[in-house]
Amino acid sequence: MNLNRNSLLLLCVFTFCIIEFSSGQIPRQYLNISVAPDKTDWTYKTGENVEFSINITQSGVAVPVENVRYVVMEEKMEPLKEGTLNLKDGKAKTQKFTMRNPGFLRCEVYATLDGKEYKGLGTAAFEPEKIQPTVKMPADFAAFWDKAKAELAEIPMDYTMTHLPEKSNQHLDVYHVSFQNIRNSRIYGILSIPTGEGKFPAILNVPGAGIRPYGGDLGKAMRGAITLQIGIHGIPVDLPQEVYNNLSAGALSGYMHINNQDKDLYYYKRVYLGCVRAVDFLVNLPQYDGQNLAVQGGSQGGALAIITAALDSRIDYLAAVYPALSDLTGYLNGRAGGWPHVFTGQNLKHYNKPEVIETLAYYDVVNFARILKAPGFYTWGFNDEVCPPTSFYSAYNVIQAPKEVFVVPETGHWTYPEQGKKTEDWLFGKFGVK
């Protein structure tokens, strides 16, 4: 099949929107359970009532279902109300509920069809712009990270670049790259460079949680930006999938908690500094235009985007989707905290210790958001069960830098392609590239 430049660009952009911005495909299930608050923007004043509407269908038609029940709670908290629902033509409504403090109220609905239980949910926001964080800023936060960056600066880059002809074409060159990081570790990634004349803006693509290979952000490279998509685990990003599966189940299982009792040894210290080292690498490329540098990611990557931009003044713009690692101590204060949910469930008995709470304050997105200066574009929804909206609004609300947010309330820990396109257009608009 022969593809011209425009066709290839559209294919790359579409692939990026589906893979990078969403956690898999847009969720659909055989039995559709729609749960929606009674205001079109799903947003309320504190003390205002919300009534949830439920519509249960299969292929757009109401079908007989069993064991229809609902649960209403502040997100991630104990139920405020639960009971059964009587459907009429597949529809029902709950009683009215409210919240007295800013936050999110969630209604989950369960129904059984052919012996299988299905779930739907809807989440009402109560003055989310007023949510304030629970995590405190350590007095030596800036000094801690200044010292860490100074130590990183003493380490030689020692980079490697291996050309990947199978990924390259007449419009871009693609490389598997690596460079030196702290603790004798390395950062690996896929670098894509347009082949045209002149200099180009650059985008650092930071990853969501997990251990996996990466193929590079080819769509934006086709549009005219240098892109570097990195992994964070100190291993090449082009190995067979089996390698990553084994690491996920073995040595790197639960990596987000490794050494979280020590701020100098915590797993994410190497990760955060590795993102800064990736910036070092990008700004030294001869093809970089020297004035347009962005960082972008979703979930863990959304956190890393904010953190990298806060740590490194060379970042001009950032784009973050439902950032993780935000207001981790929320659970210790009677409300939802951010992924990886350190202080709830089984994690609570292991990590509810003064030294862990102290360490995580140096790594919480909220404290980086407090010092952030780069303009940012953000997008998310209210139905996120992985990164609770309470947690990322805690970070978003303390950002003083210029910021824009595109909210699609019904989305959870996934996005529509339109969110990816708006984000990309915002970045390229800042670059002055059509």
Comparing 18-27, 86-95, 319-328, the range with the smallest average pLDDT is 18-27
Listed residues 114, 130, 146: the one ending a domain: 130
In a domain? residue 4: no
For the question of whether the overall pTM of this predicted structure is more than 0.75, the answer is: yes
- Domain end call among 87, 106, 130: 130
Q: Answer whether residue 306 is part of any domain.
A: yes
Q: Is residue 13 part of a domain?
A: no
For the chain, the C-alpha Rg in angstroms (whole number) is 22
pLDDT, tens only, 217-229: 999 999 999 999 9
pLDDT higher than threshold 90 for residue 388: yes
pLDDT-derived band at 188 (thresholds 50, 70, 90) equals very high
Q: Which domain holds residue 94?
A: 32-130
Full DSSP string of 268-297? HHHHHHHHHHHHHHHHT-TTEEEEEEEEEE
Q: Within this chain, do residues 111 and 232 fall inside the same structural domain, yes or no?
A: no
24 in a structural domain: no
Asked whether the predicted pLDDT for residue 178 surpasses 90, the reply is yes
316, 327, 364, 384: which one is catalytic?
Answer: 384
Task: Work out the pLDDT band at 12, boundaries 50, 70, 90.
Answer: very low
Q: Which tokens hold the place of 80?
A: 């405020």
CA distance 412 to 239: 30
Quote the tokens at residue 333: 């204060």
Is residue 195 situated within a structural domain? yes
pLDDT the model gives residue 79: 98
Measured CA to CA in angstroms, residue 46 lies from 98, 100, 106, 108, 379 at distances of: 7, 5, 15, 21, 23
Same structural domain, 122 and 160: no
Both 56 and 171 in one domain: the answer is no
Q: Is the previous residue joined to 194 through a cis bond, with omega within 30 degrees of 0?
A: no
Identify the band that residue 7 occupies on the pLDDT scale cut at 50, 70 and 90.
Answer: very low
Same domain for 165 and 39, yes or no, is: no
pLDDT in tens, 407-419: 999 999 999 999 9
User: In the prediction, which pLDDT does 19 show?
Assistant: 38
Tell me, yes or no, whether 119 and 53 share the same domain: yes
Residue 16 located in a structural domain: no
Tokens 């960056």 — which residue? 149
Strands in 98-185 per DSSP E: 103-113, 116-126, 160-163, 172-180
My answer on whether 112 and 225 are in the same domain is no
Task: Identify whether 15 is part of a domain.
Answer: no
From CA 146, how far away is CA 143, in angstroms rounded?
Answer: 5
Q: What is the pLDDT of residue 434?
A: 78
The first and second tokens of residue 169, run together, are 């074409």
pLDDT tens digits for 104-122?
999 999 999 999 999 999 9
Q: Does 156 share its domain with 100?
A: no
pLDDT exceeds cutoff 90 at 25:
no
User: What pLDDT is stored for residue 28 in this prediction?
Assistant: 81
Distances (CA, A) of 98 to 74, 178, 335, 394: 10, 52, 16, 20
Q: Is residue 350 within 8 Å of residue 184, measured between CB atoms?
A: no
Q: Both 234 and 299 in a single domain?
A: yes
Out of 299, 326, 391, 394, the active site residue is: 299
Domain-terminating residue out of 130, 154, 175 = 130
- 278 and 357 in a common domain: yes
- Phi, psi angle pair for 11, to nearest 5°: -65, -45
15 versus 282: which is more confidently predicted?
A: 282
pLDDT of res. 6:
40
Residue 7 lies in a domain: no
| Active site annotation includes 34 | no
Q: What is the CATH number of the domain that holds 120?
A: 2.60.40.1930
The tens digit of pLDDT for each residue in 85-108 reads 999 999 999 999 999 999 999 999
Considering the domain architecture, whether residues 147 and 76 belong to the same structural domain is answered as no
CATH of the domain at 227: 3.40.50.1820
Q: Is residue 268 located within the same domain as residue 236?
A: yes
**Same structural domain, 392 and 298:** yes
Please confirm, yes or no, whether 413 is among the known catalytic residues.
Answer: yes
- Total domains in the chain come to 2
